[in-house]
Amino acid sequence: MTAIGPVDKKAVMKLLIPALICNMLAFTSILPLFPTILNYYSKEGHRDWLYDISVKGLQSFQEAIGVPHSERYDKVFFGGFLGSLFSALQFISSPTLGSLSDIYGRRAIISLCCIMTFISYVNWLKADTFAYFVLSRILGGLSKGNINVATAIVSDVYSPEDHPKGMAFIGISYSLGFLVGPMIGAYFSTIASPDAPFASPAIFSIVLTVLEFGFLFFLPETLDLKEQKSLDDIKKTRKELITPKDLFQFTAVNAPQEKKNEMQKVGWIYFLFLFLYSGLEFTLPFLTHLRFNFDNMQQGKLYLFTGLLMLPIQARYVRKTPIEKQKAVAEFGIACIIPAYLLVAVAKTPLVLYAGLFFYAIASATVVTSLTSLVHVIYPQNEKGVLAGIFRSLGCLARALGPVISSTFFWLLGATTCYIMGALLLFIPLILLKRLENPAAKKTV
């Protein structure tokens, strides 16, 4: 399939990017609210069986790995538990929704995801018990296939050579969401009523989702009819879309084995990187509280700092780098996360900590976007939705497992040892990537 003409491409991205920004603002605004949420559900009248089971289970895990009893740590672990649940659900839903977009079209499936997200926020608004709140998060996690459908749309409208430009736009929308959304959520946490702490943020998320649906309503279909798959194709590959072994082997992608072998190599690099990366992301609040006694606002400034760095890197560096050099960009990004881990490991002052976060921001802005472009350039002929879903699902699995493993090592071995181990282990995906033959270079020959 040839790339869609410049006018159509521009029209698609003008609708897709604001839709993704609305989605990310709604999604990230909840993150600073977890302490308020847990306080609400711990009270009599809102506390239920699921909350009690969750608290006991997490406390047993904390005791096993030596976490000192602290309300703050309890909340971080609870937030991590819900985040891992969210990622695990995306691991299940992403490849299926991506493959369905190859049958029913991108516009239909991304709109379906938006409707499911809307329902999850309505449930959140009415969630007077913890079980009801978890149900809303389950619906939200299952609906997050919109990201891989958006990736498939980029693959539809951009040629393989220009794929990084489209992915950079998606990355920018993510950065904006993570830059602004938590700040909005922090504001909501300061004005939240003890009796109805979710009213304002839930209504805010509902309004944003309605705006998102408005943009998607006018989004043109980008799937070429020649590439449209049948429902029988999906039925044949149902197991291959949910079994971890088949996902790592890209079994559901109808491509020559030689191409699948290349995809598998990129997939493993992507998984290993995100597995280790998400560990730093999750344990950072523990470290900043232990060493520097940072409060929520000071920790929010850390993410503001990284977000402000990520935006220009994605807009000026990643977007303008040609596809044949995206492998080098990914290598540079993984190489940067290694000193990030080491600096955080030895940081005794905020200045050294921020120096580590500088390298962390470079990795955050480059690696995922570049590796996604590389896997899509290997075999761009068809099944872009399936490929995007599988690749995204591997990342979700990494984000579901990484925080649990890293927090265990953090408390058993200490922060310094944990981060030094992370830095050393990150040499594995870096070496694997350096040994990988550049898939994009073959396209230019």
Render pLDDT for 350-409 as a digit per residue (tens, 0 to 9).
Answer: 999 999 999 999 999 999 999 998 988 887 666 678 888 888 889 989 998 988 888 888
H/E element holding 12? Answer: helix 6-28
Phi and psi based region of residue 243 (left: phi greater than 0; alpha: psi -120 to 50; beta: remaining): beta
Of 434, 234, 411, nearest to 330 by C-alpha is 434
> Does 297 have pLDDT greater than 50?
yes
Work out the pLDDT band at 128, boundaries 50, 70, 90.
Answer: confident
Query: For all residues of the chain together, what is the average pLDDT?
Result: 85
Angle between helices 350-378 and 257-292 (to 10 degrees): 170
Rounded CA gap, 266 and 204, in Å?
A: 38
Do 253 and 391 contact (CB within 8 A), yes or no? no
* pLDDT number for residue 356: 95
Please state the pTM of the whole predicted model: 0.83
Rounded CA gap, 152 and 167, in Å?
A: 10
Do 98 and 148 contact (CB within 8 A), yes or no? yes
**What's the rounded mean pLDDT across residues 85-109?**
86
The per-residue pLDDT for range 309-329, each reduced to its tens digit, is 998 898 888 888 888 999 999
> Does 306 have pLDDT greater than 90?
no
Of 278, 276, 270, nearest to 425 by C-alpha is 276
Q: The CATH number of 9-222+231-435 is which of 1.20.1250.20, 1.10.8.60, 3.90.1150.10, 3.30.70.20?
A: 1.20.1250.20
